[in-house]
Amino acid sequence: MSRTEFAEFLIARRGQLQPEAVGLPAGRRRRTPGLRREEVAALAGVSVDYLARLEQGRDTNPSTAVLGALADALRLNEIERHHFGKLAFGLEQKASCPSSGQAREQVSETVQAVIDALHPTPAFVAGRWLNMLAWNPAWRDFAEPIGLLEDTAHGNFAYYVFAHPDAREHFLNWDDAADMVTSTLRAAQTHFADDPSVTSMITTLQGFPEFDKRWREHRVTDHRSLVLRIAHPQRGEVEVEIETLDPAADQSVMVWLVDRRQVRTPGLRLVNE
């Protein structure tokens, strides 16, 4: 049986947790990084055999109590616990839920009207896999000088972050952007497990070592909001607060609040007076 994403998450997090972080002696050098299966089982109060079955995908029905104990043992934060719970819920629902099908790439008139109404606040519509589907003039004017709309980005925000040669130059806290993008795609994969485009998308991005490392580690961060520090060719260094809204089932509106310290400047007003 192939391992489930739930099983992969367990294994990845066990491998990242150091003995001293859970009050265990480091001891002699370990052949593999992280905690041993026996150590996590003892911390969670479950049998080694049961944890092995979970990690091998042979048991797909952990109880709420077991999930909580494992989350405690793995020292998961609130965001990671939420993701962990969604993975477990997916195990139960996979057989009965209908296929999520292919992603809709066509932006409805209503969603387009939403981002148009946000002008002059920059905003764009992202698809399931962070394809840039539509935007308002304010976002286009901000995004074009940093190369987001160039062919090199392939019309995809994730591809821009990991593949565009100037992404690191413009995104001063590039690691935060990379973590957000990876977490967004991880959440999308969990939610749209039957989307046939998932394999090709993730496989393509795994050609970039920085993405592949984050993906294999099952990194999960708050992908709904982020503060980006951007070196903009025309505006200088600006701080952008990104907030993600979900007006449609498989599309999101990413609102870029550009340097809110200047929000009283007419060109950056967020609301009409």
> Are 225 and 261 contained in the same domain?
yes
Q: Which of 22-26, 207-211, 251-255 has the lowest mean pLDDT?
A: 22-26
In the block, which residue shows the tokens 């041993």? 36
Helices (H), the chain: 5-16, 37-44, 48-55, 64-73, 78-93, 109-118, 137-143, 157-163, 167-170, 174-191, 198-205, 209-216
CATH number at residue 156: 3.30.450.180
Q: What is the pLDDT of residue 100?
A: 53
- The answer to whether position 102 is within a domain reads no
Contact 47, 41 (CB under 8 A): yes
> Are 47 and 163 contained in the same domain?
no
Q: Which of 16-20, 223-227, 248-252 has the lowest mean pLDDT?
A: 248-252
Contact 270, 121 (CB under 8 A): yes
Question: 29 Cβ partners below 8 Å, 6+ apart?
Answer: none
pLDDT digits (tens, 9 = 90+) for 240-270: 999 999 866 689 999 999 987 654 444 444 4
> Are 188 and 69 contained in the same domain?
no
Q: What is the pLDDT of residue 212?
A: 96
The whole-angstrom separation of Cα 33 and Cα 24 is 14
> Are 46 and 125 contained in the same domain?
no
> Are 162 and 217 contained in the same domain?
yes
Cβ-defined contacts of 89-95 (< 8 Å, 24+):
90/5, 90/6, 90/190, 90/193, 91/4, 91/6, 91/60, 91/61, 91/62, 92/60, 92/61, 94/193
- The answer to whether position 273 is within a domain reads no
Domain span at 34: 5-93
> Are 116 and 17 contained in the same domain?
no
Q: What is the pLDDT of residue 273?
A: 36
Please say which residue of 67, 93, 119 terminates a domain: 93
The whole-angstrom separation of Cα 231 and Cα 240 is 11
Beta-bridge partner residues of 244: 254
In the block, which residue shows the tokens 């939420």? 82
Question: Pairing state of beta strands 123-126 and 132-135?
Answer: antiparallel
In the block, which residue shows the tokens 């497990």? 193
The whole-angstrom separation of Cα 119 and Cα 43 is 52
Per DSSP, the three-state class of 119 is coil
> Are 113 and 240 contained in the same domain?
yes
CATH number at residue 82: 1.10.260.40
**Inter-axis angle of helices 64-73 and 37-44, nearest 10:** 120
- The answer to whether position 104 is within a domain reads no
Averaged pLDDT, 95-123: 80
> Are 89 and 166 contained in the same domain?
no
Please say which residue of 46, 65, 93 terminates a domain: 93
Contact 196, 54 (CB under 8 A): no
Q: Indicate the number of domains in the chain.
A: 2
> Are 129 and 251 contained in the same domain?
yes
pLDDT digits (tens, 9 = 90+) for 55-74: 998 887 889 999 999 999 99
Beta-bridge partner residues of 224: none
pLDDT digits (tens, 9 = 90+) for 148-190: 999 999 999 999 999 999 999 999 999 999 999 999 998 888 8
Averaged pLDDT, 103-122: 90
- The answer to whether position 47 is within a domain reads yes
- The answer to whether position 101 is within a domain reads no
Mean pLDDT of the chain: 86
Residue 132: exposure state from Cβ atoms within 10 A (0-12, 13-18, ≥19): buried
The span from the first CA to the last CA of the chain, in angstroms, equals 60
Question: Pairing state of beta strands 251-258 and 132-135?
Answer: unpaired
